[in-house]
Structure 1
């Protein structure tokens, strides 16, 4: 039979451990989100090692991986992936870690996420749409080489040519024309790439698409 003092010591140690764990859990949520945002890899990995859920989300449904990717914190993204988070998870706006990394032009983060098999093709907006919207041609080609669907339509039925033409990304438009994308699609508002380019003052882009259309006849 154990002596009373041994039992008391055991119970005290167990209670202390419980309280410590409770303190970590109670205060770690904001710390984890802040670490992902600020790129504090050491603090974040420490919290994850102590049991914080790698799929922790903020009020907008952004996971730690989405936040770190959005901010371009490559080292933090790499560290997070070791804890097996949901790589393809999408926030309340429908954005994934890869989508926001592409939107921000964070090439190194995109490379890390592609290596982790982040989804390229899915319903709604895709990483390739974001690359076209922002005119990130290097990332566009990288996503395309990885298997992104160049013909995918956004929720408003816009394609990559429409998005690039709308925002004045002339080099990407030329590239898309050379790749042979359809030139005369219309989105849900009935607007074509040429019309969208002209309405935004991108007449040079409209002329490039019109000339390509003439050559294809």
Structure 2
């Protein structure tokens, strides 16, 4: 029988697999040592029963993996491992506001992945819609997910939320060429005249990324409002 890989070797293999993407499809014969490795491998392979068992034995539901600093809840969302997501979402003491190394929360990742059921579930559990800096509404607008944008606004997301460089959700939608999302945000009251730290408006973003229809539509709206000659 082959020797069981040492924990440090197993950790390196797990990190490499996560970095390569598509971790839910990991081969089942990758052996890992210790509860830490077992837990994050189970999260990344949608192994709900293993995750549940480890939590029942006292594993910290808010532990973070070394690649991005993701909690299990965030990693499950990144990798579309929804059985594990359901287990972790309902685990005692799960921190819905925990952040990855780059500041992402579970709600932000669910919005960016356009995972409407996960967004709804997180909101129903009490996840915060608004937060300083990048917020879930930025991510939903960047992805062009109108259903999620509308839901976040229904839950009182601040429509002109500013990122650290003062980029707003409508700027992100314009940048991505999501004309229906731009229209939705505009109809809901987004301020198209705002500028970020580089002096760019939503119109500037649309023009820079060659979304002429969006630039023209926003310009027409501003003229109608009397804010352009």
Q: C-alpha distance in 2, partners of 1:37/1:101?
A: 16
Tell me the TM-score normalized by structure 2. Answer: 0.80
Following TM superposition, by how much is the alpha carbon of 1:192 offset from its aligned partner in structure 2, in angstroms? Answer: 1.2
Task: Please tell me whether Structure 1 or Structure 2 has the larger radius of gyration of its CA atoms.
Answer: 1
Matched, 1:134 2:143: yes
Farther-moved stretch of structure 1 (124-133 vs 30-39): 30-39
Moved over 6 A (4+): none
Shift of 1:82: 2.3
1:160 aligns to 2:169 (yes or no) = yes
Corresponding residue of 2:64: 57
Question: Where do residues 1-217 of structure 1 align in structure 2 (5 Å cutoff)?
Answer: 27-59=34-66, 60-80=68-88, 81-217=90-226
Distance (whole Å) between structure 2 residues aligned to residue 123 and residue 178 of structure 1: 24
Structure 1 unaligned segments of length 5 or more: list them. Answer: 1-25
Structure 1 residues 93-127: Cα deviation after superposition (integer angstroms, max 9, x where no partner): 00001111111111111121111111111112100
Q: Tell me, yes or no, if the aligned pair for 1:197 and 1:206 is still in contact at 8 Å.
A: yes
Distance (whole Å) between structure 1 residues aligned to residue 84 and residue 125 of structure 2: 14
Q: Is contact 2:167-2:196 (8 Å) kept? A: yes
For residues 21-50 of structure 1, the C-alpha deviation after alignment (integer angstroms, 9 at most, x for no partner) is: xxxxx6110111111122111110011111
Higher helix share: 1
Residue 78 of structure 1: CA displacement? Answer: 2.0
- Distance in 1 (alpha carbons) for counterparts of 2:156 and 2:189: 17
Q: 2: CA distance between counterparts of 1:65 and 1:110? A: 13
What displacement does 1:87 show?
0.8
Determine the C-alpha separation between the residues in 2 that align with 1:182 and 1:214: 14
